[in-house]
Amino acid sequence: MDETIKNHSLTSHVNGAHSDTRTQKREDYLEWPEYFMAVAFLSAQRSKDPSSQVGACIVNQENKIVGIGYNGMPNGCNDDLLPWSRSAENKLDTKYPYVCHAELNAIMNKNSADVKGCTMYVALFPCNECAKLIIQAGIKDVIYLSDKYHDSPEMTASRRLLNLAGIAYKQFKPKQVKIVIDFNSINHSDVETAQST
């Protein structure tokens, strides 16, 4: 399999096919870390931020997703009336005082009583404000993909806080750089199943 995962046989066993190729389980299924990071990235596609789309996915110790979030303006605040720019003469005309980061939204969106002991998958290394939230929420591990702002004061402060709080953080090295979601694949596998039974 090349860098792209193909899910063309996803439904074949569900449909009860009996050909030789269908009696073995799939070997190219998505592993948990890839799956959770992909959920974070898919969620990021919801973001309206023109310059940065970040997603986060919180997972408990049973590999169940308990929170998903992406960066956006606070609930009920019309995002057409708030600025999206990264720089302006007046800081109030940039997005920074207003936007909620993906980590904050993932924690606030939690569908469990709390996120203690959970792992957060996030596209970008968390800033210092998100590090505070992660620590106070009781999250134990952070798996991030990019650390492109590593030398900024925000990230430096973040590492300082996470280190002091004993929260592990690790860069995610995906096995494939691309995962394609092909809505047509479900039709392809139906055809295959029909031919083999």
Residues interacting with Zn ion, by CB under 5 A?
101, 127, 130
Looking at beta carbons only, is 38 or 102 nearer to Zn ion? 102
Looking at beta carbons only, is 17 or 139 nearer to Zn ion? 139
Q: Are 138 and 117 in contact (CB under 8 A)?
A: yes
Looking at beta carbons only, is 4 or 146 nearer to Zn ion? 146
In the complex, least distance from residue 166 CB atom to Zn ion, rounded to whole angstroms: 20
In the complex, least distance from residue 96 CB atom to Zn ion, rounded to whole angstroms: 10
In the complex, least distance from residue 133 CB atom to Zn ion, rounded to whole angstroms: 8
CA distance 137 to 3: 35
Looking at beta carbons only, is 40 or 130 nearer to Zn ion? 130
Assess whether 31 carries a catalytic annotation: no
Q: Are β-strands 55-59 and 65-70 bridged in parallel, bridged antiparallel, or unpaired?
A: antiparallel
Name the phi and psi angles at 135, rounded to 5. -65, -50
In the complex, least distance from residue 172 CB atom to Zn ion, rounded to whole angstroms: 17
Q: Catalytic pick from 103, 129, 154, 192?
A: 103
CA 188 vs CA 1, 16, 27, 43, 67: distances in Å: 18, 16, 19, 26, 32
Question: 153-165 vs 128-137: helix axis angle to the nearest 10?
Answer: 20
**What is the number of other CB atoms lying within 10 angstroms of the CB of residue 52?**
16
Residues carrying an active site annotation = 103
